[in-house]
Structure 1
C-alpha cells in the first residue's frame, strides 16, 4: 500500500480525529480512504448521469406526450424488475 502525506488546517485535523473518536473509523487513514471511495462513487454516478443527459439531448425531440413517455418508462421498469 502506498503512503501519502497531506497537510490540512488544524480545524480539519480536529474534525477527522473526532470522526475516528466516534469509533466509525479505526484511524485517520481509514477515514480518508472512505472519503476517497465516496468521491469515486459520486463522480462515477455523475459521469453516468451526464452520459444519460447527453444521450437524451442527442436523441432529438420526441413526438410522444409527457404522459406517454412516463408510461413507457414505468412499463420498462416493471419489465426490468420481473
Structure 2
C-alpha cells in the first residue's frame, strides 16, 4: 500500500512527548516520527498478545485444580528424576 493511501490520524502530543519522539528519530531509532509511532504501536500489540497468552495460561492452570502434594515432595521428585537421567 502506498504511503499516501494510508489513512491519516491527527494526534496532538504534549511538548515533552514530541521532544522525546524527535530525539529518538535524531538518534536513529526510526527514520521519522510516523515510523517511530508505528513501531511503538506494533510493539504494544505484540506485548498485549503475549499478555493475553500469559493470562490464558494462568487461567488454564487455575482451572486445572490443585494437587495435594507439598513443595518439598515436588523437589524430591525432581531430584529423583534428575538423578535417574
Describe the superposition over 1:4-63 as per-residue Cα deviations: whole angstroms up to 9, x where unpaired. 110010111011000000122100000000100110011001000000000011000124
1:13 aligns with 2:11: no
Unaligned 5+ segments in structure 1 are: 72-82
Question: Out of 37, 49, 66, which is 1:61 matched to?
Answer: 66
Question: Out of 10, 32, 36, which is 1:31 matched to?
Answer: 36
TM-score, normalised to structure 2, is 0.74
Bigger Cα Rg: 2
List structure 1 runs of 4+ shifted beyond 6 angstroms: none
TM-score, normalised to structure 1, is 0.76
Q: How many residues align?
A: 72
Once superposed, what is the RMSD of the aligned Cα atoms? Answer: 2.1
Aligned to 2:50: 45
Unaligned 5+ segments in structure 2 are: 1-5, 79-85
